[in-house]
A and B are shown apart, each in its own frame.
Chain A
Amino acid sequence: MRPRTKKIFYDFRSNPSRSVLVILSIFVGLFAVGMIMTLWICIPSDLRMGYELSNPANIYFRLSPFDNSLIRSVQKWENVQDAMGSSVATLRAYDGSGKLKKVVVQAVSDDSWPVNHIDILEGSWPLKDGEAAVENYKLTDLDGKVGKPLTLKTSSGKEVNVTVAASIRDQSLGAGDYSIVFIEPIQVYVHEDMLRKLEMDTHWNTLRIVLKDGGKDEQRIRDQANIYADRLKKAGYQVQSIALRRSDAHPTADYADAIAGILLVIGVLVVFLSGSLTYNTLTAILSNQMRQIGAMKTVGATYAQIVFMYMQLILLYSLIALVLAVPASMGAAELCRDFLGKNINFANIRTGVVWETVIVQLVLGLVVPQVAGAIPVTKGAHVSIQKAMGGMRGTGSGDNDRFTRGMSRLFSRPTALSMRNTFRNKSRLILTLFTLSLGGAIFIASFNVNKAIDEHVAVIARYVQADLDLVTDQPYRLDHIQSILKDIPEINYIEGWGAGSATYIDPDGNDGPSMSILAPPDGSALIAPNVKEGRWFEPGEQNVITLSERFNYTYPDLKVGDKIKMEVKGTGNKTEWTVVGFFTMAGKSGGFLAYMPLSSWLHISGAGNRLTKFQIVTQNRLNDERRAALTKDVETVLDAKGIKTTAIQRNDSFVSDAARGLNIMSIFMMIMAVLVALVGCIGLTGTMSLNVMERTAEIGILRAIGASNRNVMKNVLTEGVLIGFMSWGIGSVLSVPVGFVLTNSLGRAIFGSRLVPGYTPTGYGLWLVLSLVLSVLACRAPAKTAVDLTIREVLSVE
């Protein structure tokens, strides 16, 4: 090996803590970039490709009962690729603690599921008589497990026992009713032989159609659906609802987009972070090499030779960092994908090494450190030998002394001295602060984004402030229900709400999607809407309606003041309404939801003043157990009077369902925060300890002229705390724009509008503690080393 190569290896070995720091700085950047990029590439494509692979239906018809003969003829219609019938009904099932939960039961005849393929995650398939499969996403809500029995309750109240034979993934959840997996009830799949036992219609009621040539054109899907709808009506079927969906529009795609947007912002910031970190550590290494560079130049080394030597050293660091970062980031990304896949309901389609990422990591890993090192390396190689050998000449200019004197007036002399040290190397300080502040800013911003999400969840909760939501199978008068339930002492009061569904008639006069309608009574205290555009309706107003953000998203031309038409189910009448406002609720991928005054609802529902939805407010401070008991009591009391309940649900469970997607985003933000904290903490520790390492000689001199070890330690730690504190301050300020960008991209992806930024002291507090504690720890170790050296040793250190 040639001597200069040996020198490179020596530099690498001689100061392990410094080498480890450089490698770590490069590693964290590559790790974060690798993980972020893998997720960024895989998640949206997993979602889209996985969904397309499931042969998703483009058109969902809810029809009056039909049988296989209709399916056979539909299969022959023009542009139909596949058609499938199923029987879908809403029943209830007992969870592990004996509580009843709403479940949607589907039965299909064909074991191969031609449309909306499902993935068997666990258990056996096809299903046999007496078996059921439960959709994985909410299996835990039932406390269910493959192999365990499950008790279903039919609409007549009969209990049917089945065995959970499989847990499955159904990516189309929500597609059939413009909804998302989070809000969908628990899904149970049974063989068609089970229909009779479950007292379900043995005919099909749901028709799913896949269009030929991949239905990716929304207009084409709409046109075909209209043609088919007419044909079905002519054939004597009632079309109860229509839902349309592109083959590449996974129901939770918005969430994947939101995640991708956040990943992109954080990824770019992390590259900067890691770059400046690497620059810092390399600068420190190079500044310790000045004399050696001088010696090498004296014996004839050219500028290029020296630059090349240090490039090789950096290459060595890069290679080690790469070897560690590539597999580590793959593993981390895999864990993240599994977590997100489970929680936003998609399958990991892309398997194996994501080469794009590895290539980017290779390029970044080889180039960024060289670029970061270019400035200190060329500077070092350019320095004149006379300067390099001159060493410490000319430090401590008058400027700094003035600074020290000024500070001494405010602080004690040693404190002022350590402040002078802090400010001595201005460009270095700026870079250190930049690195630490950026890390802090992203960290703090993650918490603030999280807070914004939580606040929005609270906004959703304000739509449903009653404690129990009772839905009866027949309409009843409010006073009737009130009088039946008046003897239950925990109930404070009951509001009757109008509830139903309607078919939206699109501007062209065709049947549009099915929309849900809710009609709170005038002055209801149980709803506080979040109006995004226009206004809410006033008490006594007639023929006015407010629409959810989903309408905005699907019909961008729809404006406040426009008139819309709809046909309330079961009435056969088309009615016209004035849109007075749009509200924000669970996101633009949520369903088509509309609110109108109760009086308007009573006018059109055709049920007189009878209602099916009752909002029950209980006394404050009912604990979970008593609320569950109350739920049972209400059902028993009603049952005794012959009133059947379709659902009696605690509203907080609705909120937690609606917020589920957002909570995933929350958790995801926290994962990012931890990742950034990792990068930030390594940056903090590295920069701080390098600062102190560089001052080993100075510390020796201070001790030689009589400073006690305690004094030296105190000085060093004061400086660390000062930098930690300053970076926290700047980071706090920077977190505002960073948080703004993140919240905005999240809001745009999920709500199609801005999300109100949130602020929480948690991020600020945590980062303050982290930066102070880490500053002290990072400074302590090298300072202690410096103090423990004998003065002679210190002074012989370069």
Chain B
Amino acid sequence: MAENIVEIHGLKKVYREGSVSTEALRGIDLSVARGEYLGVVGKSGAGKTTLLNMIAGLDSVTEGEITVDGRRVDKMNEVKKAVWRGRSVGFIFQSFQLLPGLSLLDNVMLPMDFCGKLSRNSSEKAAELLRMVGLIDHIHKIPSEISGGQQQRVAIARALANDPILLLADEPTGRLDTATSEVVFEIFEKVVAGGTTMIIVSHDHSLAERTRRIITLADGRIADE
């Protein structure tokens, strides 16, 4: 077992749109150790989301290598990537992205369903995760019936559904007020304490300061460590 869960070498990403191309990442080298709690900060447009997407295999790499848990993400095909992502990575968006028609319980069970991990205990496990994020009383509600902060907690429970080794969060509190954000971070700390590696992206320095290690992105490069 490799010591570092994430290894990135010379990562570049160029977006091409017609004749316009944007260099979002201009050569990133980064290692994240197992169990680490990493914060990525930087101004809007610095390339934070792009970096996170690259690690989760949500978009293709232009140049460079990404190894996660010993596997080359940049070399996987789409199907392998999907299965791997479902089993190994949890991802949290700024805008929650719960499925509107499904109950909170079903939303949390959805990753198990896609990864073929659905079993008789699934709903108990999902309920357990929802209890962990403090929503055990709402499990049969649908997302539009709860607040934004609660939705983000469901999204966290969903990200944890398949016991990922890596949890990624892109501006998870960007749409939440300070008090609610506090609750979310408390949950993250619980998760990290349980041994899961976590990377949080935020443009807000004060929140990312709660992490144990911080890197700053500027203009597609790591500016500060």
Contacts and interface: CB of A to CB of B under 8 A. Distances in A.
B17 interface: yes
Nearest to A386: B59
B82 A3 contact: no
Interface in B69-105: 78-79, 82-83, 85-87, 91, 93, 97-102
B114 A301 contact: yes
Across chains A and B, which 10 residue pairs bring their CB atoms closest together, nearest first? A300-B86, A10-B101, A386-B59, A299-B111, A295-B97, A3-B106, A385-B58, A302-B82, A301-B114, A3-B110
A8 to B, nearest CB: 9
B162 interface: yes
Contact of A300 (B18, B93, B99, B115): B115
A299 B110 contact: yes
A101 to B, nearest CB: 70
A64 interface: no
Contacts of B100: 10, 14, 292, 798
A389 B93 contact: yes
25 contacts: A4-B114, A6-B101, A7-B106, A10-B99, A10-B102, A11-B101, A13-B101, A14-B101, A296-B110, A298-B85, A298-B93, A299-B85, A299-B86, A300-B85, A300-B86, A300-B111, A300-B114, A300-B162, A301-B82, A302-B78, A303-B78, A384-B58, A384-B59, A386-B53, A386-B58
A14 B100 CA distance: 9
Contacts of B118: 2
B31 to A, nearest CB: 24
Interface string A28-42: 000000000000000
A385 B59 contact: yes
Given A3-B107, A4-B110, A298 B17 contact: no
B4 interface: no
A7 B101 contact: yes
Interface string A278-296: 0000000000000110111
A268 to B, nearest CB: 38
Interface residues of A, number: 30
B96 to A, nearest CB: 9
A297 interface: yes
A302 B79 CA distance: 6
Contact of B102 (A3, A305, A386, A389): A3
A3 B117 CA distance: 12
| Residue among A13, A301, A798 facing the most chain B CB atoms (10 A cut-off) | A301
B107 A302 contact: no
Contacts of A305: 114
A7 B114 CA distance: 12
B82 to A, nearest CB: 4
A385 B81 CA distance: 12
A572 interface: no
Contact of B86 (A301, A385, A389): A301
Interface in A433-472: none
A7 B102 contact: yes
B201 interface: no
A606 B114 CA distance: 98
Contacts of A389: 58, 93, 97
A461 B60 CA distance: 76
A11 B99 CA distance: 10
B58 A299 contact: no
Given A2-B113, A4-B114, A385-B59, A298 B97 contact: yes
A363 interface: no
A3 B126 CA distance: 12
| Residue among B97, B115, B159 facing the most chain A CB atoms (10 A cut-off) | B97
Interface string A370-401: 00000000000000111001000010010000
Given A299-B114, A385-B53, 20 more contacts: A2-B109, A2-B113, A3-B107, A10-B100, A10-B101, A11-B101, A292-B99, A295-B93, A295-B97, A298-B58, A298-B93, A299-B85, A299-B86, A299-B111, A299-B158, A300-B83, A300-B115, A300-B162, A384-B58, A397-B18
B77 to A, nearest CB: 10
A9 to B, nearest CB: 8
B87 A300 contact: yes
Interface in B136-157: none
A19 to B, nearest CB: 13
B24 to A, nearest CB: 11
Contacts of B58: 297-298, 384-386, 389
B184 interface: no
Contacts of B101: 6-7, 10-11, 13-14
A304 interface: yes
A291 B97 contact: yes
Interface of B: 17-18, 53, 56, 58-60, 78-79, 82-83, 85-87, 91, 93, 97-102, 106-107, 109-111, 113-115, 118, 158-159, 161-162
B198 to A, nearest CB: 16
Contacts of B18: 397
A389 B162 CA distance: 22
Given A298-B58, A301-B114, A386-B58, A6 B102 contact: yes
Contacts of B158: 299
Contacts of B93: 295, 298, 389
A3 B85 contact: no
A7 B143 CA distance: 13
B97 A384 contact: no
Interface in A760-798: 798
| Residue among B53, B86, B118, B162 facing the most chain A CB atoms (10 A cut-off) | B86
B79 A295 contact: no
Contacts of B102: 3, 6-7, 10
Nearest to B18: A397
Contacts of B97: 291, 294-295, 298, 389
A298 B155 CA distance: 12
Given A10-B101, A14-B101, A304 B79 contact: yes
B82 A297 contact: yes
B148 to A, nearest CB: 11
Contacts of A10: 99-102
B91 A299 contact: yes
Nearest to A291: B97
Nearest to B161: A299
Contact of A296 (B78, B109, B114): B114
B98 A302 contact: no
A4 B83 contact: no
A473 B118 CA distance: 96
Nearest to B115: A300
A389 B158 CA distance: 17
Nearest to B123: A3
A10 B107 CA distance: 13
Nearest to B87: A300
A6 B140 CA distance: 13
A292 B99 CA distance: 6
Contacts of B110: 3-4, 7, 296, 299
Nearest to A2: B113
B79 A303 contact: yes
Nearest to A301: B114
A295 B98 contact: yes
B53 A300 contact: no
| Residue among A298, A300, A304 facing the most chain B CB atoms (10 A cut-off) | A300
Contacts of B111: 299-300
A31 to B, nearest CB: 30
Contacts of A3: 102, 106-107, 109-110, 113
A103 to B, nearest CB: 72
B180 to A, nearest CB: 18
Contacts of B17: 394
Nearest to B90: A299
Nearest to B168: A298
| Residue among A2, A292, A304 facing the most chain B CB atoms (10 A cut-off) | A2
A301 B97 CA distance: 14
Nearest to B101: A10
Interface string A7-25: 1001101100000000000
Nearest to A14: B101
